[in-house]
Chain A
Amino acid sequence: MRVGSARCCAMAIAVCSVTAGLGLRRAHAEPLAPTTLCASYPDIPDCTGKVPACSLCHDSTDPPSWNSFGLEVKGQLSAGVPFATALVPALAAVADDDADMDGVSNLAELQRGSSPSVADRAAPSPMSGLTNPRYRIGDYDPAFAFRRVSTLYCGRSPSYAEMSAFMEGAPDDATLKQRMHAALDRCLSSDYWRNEGLLRLADKRIKPVLAFGKDTDILIFEYRLVVGDYDYDYRLWRYGLSEDHDMRELLTAQFHLVQAADGTLQKVTGLIEKPDEKALAGGQPVPAEHRAGLLTTQWFLAYNTMFSPMPRVSAAQAYRSYLGADIAASEGLRPVAGEPVDVDKRGVAAPRCANCHSTLDPLAYAFAEYDGIALSSTPAFGTYNPGRPSAVIAGWNPSAQKSVLLGKPVSNLVEWGKVASESDEFKRNIADMFFRQALNRAALPDELAEFDALWQSAATDGYSANKMLHRLIDTHAFGSP
């Protein structure tokens, strides 16, 4: 299959570090291909609010092995030519090939957001003139969508009376959609959504552990083993993603939230003491000006950084949870020149490690100014401690170790949170979370246009998660049976 007019676009479709088999003797510890590709072709889906994962070309990066598409590209690379230079013509050469032999060219697959190495399922078969007495198969079906809205966001299906009211008066589609959006508004303010549906989406991001929470009854000597109070994290999560609040505050809030007796959330900006003298920790010890929403809660810092001098786990968890890139899965790799310097002498500069650490370590530097769990004469849990890096990381050079996030230098964790919250990656990740919650899968290639519109409207919508959900239920993907 040829894609003639787009052939020129193929030249930079190199998403794999294919240098290992090139005859180039230098091992490329930093994966250059993802960012190289996206710098040249920012509009393909894999470069919209993300960068491609190594798995687009690789089955494995260490030891290196390639999938069918990667092998095609690799086979076209010229020996003795610098990787970035060699990549371009190699990709042009394979653009019109079909590595997975599914009838769609490599380039067309990348342009539509499918994998060039995985044969796609056959396209949906035509309906052959059949009809369905209940559902509008293939079209947006308001009644079908209404049931989904109720089930997903109210936590229950509509009753017979509610379905009857929804259909009452033989309404046109516009009226039905109006009713559906009104139902969504009711659901989004329901107890189910605020206190169950929405919170369960946070679990893998907050990672609570009952034994270390504020109510633990586990004792160490006479102290309760409270490492942090993750209820603050859950409250901020709920706050940022409800009531038309600004979702960016998940990563920028310099306040905490307490729940009043009537269930409303109230902001607290001062330091918050631990719950009682017998608790090891709890409360919120980071001063307001050094807070960055969920990135600087006591629980996040204490649980993720723990005893590590270099808080790589914290950085990776933040990157995964809020920007949608799991470095452990070779996602979101944006290597920083000169990194990793292996500041803590852990051997991360070795090629097999540098592949990820060239991105991860610069992400982590900003977290180093915060204690995880510091056991000294005065134990500290998740505190701000600007002298910490020099004190606990032998090779730390304050003028050299600068954090870089998404290609942008950031001077501290507050700025890290701000850059992250403004990024396409953040918006896309929130939209992807809601999309998957609704449909139990990512957007399909033919749904990517409306999916991209979903997250790209975040700024227009005041970064309101509720407005994003209103857009979601209008999508063909959501409402088409």
Chain B
Amino acid sequence: MRTLEKTLLALSCATGLTVTACVKEEKLPAPTDPVTLGPDGKPAAGGAAGQANTGAGGSESTGSKSPIARSTRSSLQWKRHAAFEADLSQALELPPEELCNEFGADSCIRTVHLSPLGGHNPFTTGLLESSAEPLVTTSTVVERVVLSACIARREKDRALGQNGVVFGGLDLDGVAPAPDAAATRGLIAGLYRRFLARDVEPSELETLAQLVRDEAGAPVSASDFAASACLAVGTSSEFLFF
């Protein structure tokens, strides 16, 4: 899991709009021009959303040799429950009721963890306002919901095989492909488009591709890679704030 933790940290530092707490020792690659990946998962020319200022992304430059300008207004907004649910649903092409349910019964987002996710329901809980700031359990809940949704998508895709919606490029019953394999790069590129509405940058691609190996350098299962890559992008600050 340490690889995943490092990856999550790297991604959380990615937007350039977050607080300046990202660690200096994470020597991440300097920003480069955004690229579009072709069907083979390799950088290709063209592509609209990833090229100019899309307002959607950032560069993993925190702590790098080339720091980028950061927001001075602290106006980044917390994506609350409704948009969080809609965006997860949109990204993974899952209906909201399949994203996450506690005990298979109650919606994690709309019912059980509504308050930590920034919502309120005056009719069922008596709360008349949402929390102004994330609660102490918010980060845990976010991870729980995203991981649940990623696994739900993965299991659906396992049944669909090569026709899988998100993970169709992987053999989910085998081992993860190599870091530079088309399947690896294609999945990561697809996740960026799905969650962040932009093309992945080479530095980000390299960061996430590390997830195909464990700390000892051995390949993980494709199934684990699928879930961890999905979790990494789905819990990035760029996805959770706007």
Contacts and interface: CB of A to CB of B under 8 A. Distances in A.
Contacts of B59: 133-134
B198 interface: yes
Interface in A185-238: 192, 196-197, 200, 203-204, 207-210, 213
A137 B53 CA distance: 11
A353 B58 CA distance: 55
Interface residues of A, number: 52
A163 B129 contact: no
Contact of B72 (A125, A162, A168, A209): A125
A477 B82 CA distance: 23
Given A151-B79, A155-B86, A164-B48, A127 B69 contact: yes
B2 interface: no
Given A131-B68, A135-B16, A143-B54, A203 B194 contact: no
Given A125-B72, A144-B55, A204-B128, A192 B197 contact: no
Interface stretch (B116-124, B176-184, B207-215, B229-237): B116-124
B72 A127 contact: yes
B120 A203 contact: yes
Contacts of B242: 147-148, 151, 157
Contact of B17 (A135, A192, A208, A213): A135
Contact of A207 (B73, B122, B193): B122
Nearest to B57: A134
A124 B122 contact: no
Nearest to A130: B69
Contacts of B48: 163-165, 167-168
Interface residues of B, number: 50
A142 B54 CA distance: 9
Interface in B66-86: 67-73, 75-79, 82-83, 86
A64 interface: no
Contacts of B73: 124, 480-481
Contact of A203 (B68, B122, B197): B122
A413 interface: no
B16 A145 contact: no
B63 interface: no
B66 to A, nearest CB: 9
B49 interface: yes
Contact of B52 (A130, A155, A170, A196): A170
A367 interface: no
B68 A133 contact: yes
A159 B54 CA distance: 12
Interface string B107-123: 00000000000011011
Contact of A130 (B49, B67, B86, B90): B67
Interface string B164-208: 000000000000000000000000000001100110000000000
Contact of B71 (A135, A158, A213): A135
Contact of A481 (B17, B87, B119): B17
A207 B90 contact: no
Given A135-B58, A156-B90, A477-B75, A203 B129 contact: yes
B132 interface: yes
A124 B71 CA distance: 9
Interface string A236-271: 000000000000000000000000000000000000
Contacts of A418: none
A138 interface: yes
A155 B96 CA distance: 13
A165 B124 CA distance: 40
Nearest to A125: B72
Contacts of A203: 120, 122, 128-129
B135 interface: no
Given A124-B72, A134-B54, A159-B90, A196 B82 contact: yes
A156 to B, nearest CB: 4
Contacts of B31: 133
A143 B77 contact: no
A156 B86 contact: yes
Contacts of A137: 16, 69-72
Contacts of A144: 55
A136 interface: yes
Nearest to A146: B55
Contact of A138 (B57, B72, B193, B194): B72
B221 interface: no
Contact of A132 (B16, B87, B132, B193): B16
13 contacts: A125-B72, A133-B58, A135-B58, A145-B55, A146-B55, A155-B82, A157-B90, A158-B197, A162-B197, A163-B49, A167-B52, A439-B77, A480-B75
Given A137-B69, A165-B48, A438-B77, 5 more contacts: A127-B72, A133-B58, A156-B86, A167-B52, A170-B52
Interface of B: 15-17, 31, 33-34, 47-49, 51-59, 67-73, 75-79, 82-83, 86-87, 90, 119-120, 122-124, 126, 128-130, 132, 193-194, 197-198, 242
